[in-house]
């Protein structure tokens, strides 16, 4: 009985929280009840007097945002999003007319996560009314190759995020302070970098592979032999705190 209840709950959960386009296998049937609109038609939904309504599109998915008229209607701070797909502006924050495009091919994988969070926001707060024929959906409502590439890049973003979170747990950031008279100091504590743990660790320089970027991290084992981890010059191996001079910071 409990098993049936769990399955039913999972189906309900998925149907509410997983946006349709993430499930490409059910996409075609699901979209049968949804409208397919082209970009010319979408311009008639900009909320201006005499318009057909107030819609916006994100990654080719169209939402009725009439409920948020104070944001998207004429005079609202986000009116520029109405009647079009301005996906890129959700990432760049550049709301100039010339920069409003649905082309997000320049967006790095990690930032695509933010874009999909916006998509999830619209699914939660507004009614999904259909799909925009164009860059992301074909005339028959199928995802385009471009959308599949964006989804693959999103998956890469999730992988990178998980990797960076795992690294942050292994090498939490140090505490740091700078004073004009005494110079800089980095030190470790059981909460440094916002990572609560049982060990304190010792400060080390962590080099990003393939880049010259360096940051201070706490390493549990003073004898850590990771090739990207380097001791601070002049600081004892097992010291929990290191004083920095400009030379050791930059070289």
To the nearest whole angstrom, how small is the minimum distance from the Cβ of residue 224 to ligand HEM? Answer: 38
Under the binding rule (CB under 6 A), the answer on residue 75 touching ligand HEM is no
Interface with ligand HEM, residue 90, by CB under 6 A: yes
* Interface with ligand HEM, residue 50, by CB under 6 A: no
Question: Quick one: which of 32, 78, 34 has its CA closest to 56?
Answer: 78
Closest contact distance (angstroms) between CB of 68 and ligand HEM is 4
| Least separation in angstroms between CB 51 and ligand HEM | 18
Distance (Å, rounded) from C-alpha 151 to C-alpha 123?
A: 17
Q: How far is the CB of 50 from ligand HEM (least distance, A)?
A: 23
Shortest distance, position 62 Cβ to ligand HEM, whole Å? 14
Rg (CA), the chain: 25
Shortest CB 63 distance to ligand HEM, Å: 9
Number of residues that bind ligand HEM (CB under 6 A): 5
Residue number with CB closer to ligand HEM (72 or 171): 72
Residue nearest to ligand HEM (CB): 93
Calpha distance 203→174 (Å, rounded): 7
d(CA 219, CA 201): 5
- Residue 78 touches ligand HEM, criterion: CB under 6 A: yes
157 and 112 Cβ atoms separated by less than 8 Å: yes
From residue 112, alpha-carbon distances to 17, 99, 213 in Å are 18, 18, 23
Q: Which is nearer to ligand HEM, 125 or 191 (CB)?
A: 125
Position 93 contacts ligand HEM (CB under 6 A): yes
The answer to whether 68 contacts ligand HEM (rule: CB under 6 A) is yes
What is the DSSP secondary structure assignment for residue 19, as one 8-state letter? Answer: -
Q: Which is nearer to ligand HEM, 71 or 197 (CB)?
A: 71
Per CB under 6 A, contacts with ligand HEM among 196-235 are none
Judged by beta carbon, residue 20 or residue 71, the one nearer ligand HEM is: 71
State which residue, 91 or 195, has the beta carbon closest to ligand HEM.
91
Burial class (CB in 10 A: 0-12, 13-18, 19+), 109: middle
| Residue 190, CA distances (Å) to 12, 78, 195, 202, 244 in order | 41, 43, 8, 11, 21
Alpha-carbon distance of 156 to 164, in angstroms, equals 12
Q: What is the contact surface with ligand HEM in residues (CB under 6 A)?
A: 68, 71, 78, 90, 93
């Amino acid at each position: 009985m409990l098993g049936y209840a769990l399955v039913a709950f999972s189906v309900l959960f998925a149907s509410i929280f997983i946006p349709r386009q993430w499930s490409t296998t059910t996409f075609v049937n699901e979209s049968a009840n949804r409208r397919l609109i082209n970009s010319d038609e979408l311009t008639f939904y900009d909320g201006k007097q005499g318009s057909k309504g107030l819609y916006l599109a994100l990654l080719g998915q169209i939402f009725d945002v009439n409920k948020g008229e104070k944001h998207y209607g004429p005079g609202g701070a986000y009116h520029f999003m109405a009647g079009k797909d301005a996906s890129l502006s959700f990432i760049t924050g550049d709301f100039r007319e010339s920069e409003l495009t649905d082309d997000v091919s320049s967006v790095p994988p990690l930032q695509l996560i933010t874009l999909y969070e916006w998509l999830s926001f619209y699914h939660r707060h507004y009614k999904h009314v259909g799909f925009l024929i164009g860059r992301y959906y074909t005339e028959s409502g199928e995802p385009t190759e471009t959308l599949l590439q964006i989804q693959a890049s999103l998956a890469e973003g999730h992988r990178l995020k998980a990797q960076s979170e795992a690294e942050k747990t292994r090498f939490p950031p140090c505490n740091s302070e700078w004073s004009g008279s005494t110079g800089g100091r980095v030190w470790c504590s059981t909460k440094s970098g916002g990572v609560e743990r049982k060990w304190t660790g010792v400060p080390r320089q962590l080099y990003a592979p393939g880049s010259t970027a360096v940051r201070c991290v706490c390493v549990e084992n003073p004898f850590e032999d990771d090739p990207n981890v380097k001791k601070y010059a002049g600081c004892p191996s097992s010291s929990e705190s290191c004083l920095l001079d400009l030379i050791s910071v930059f070289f």
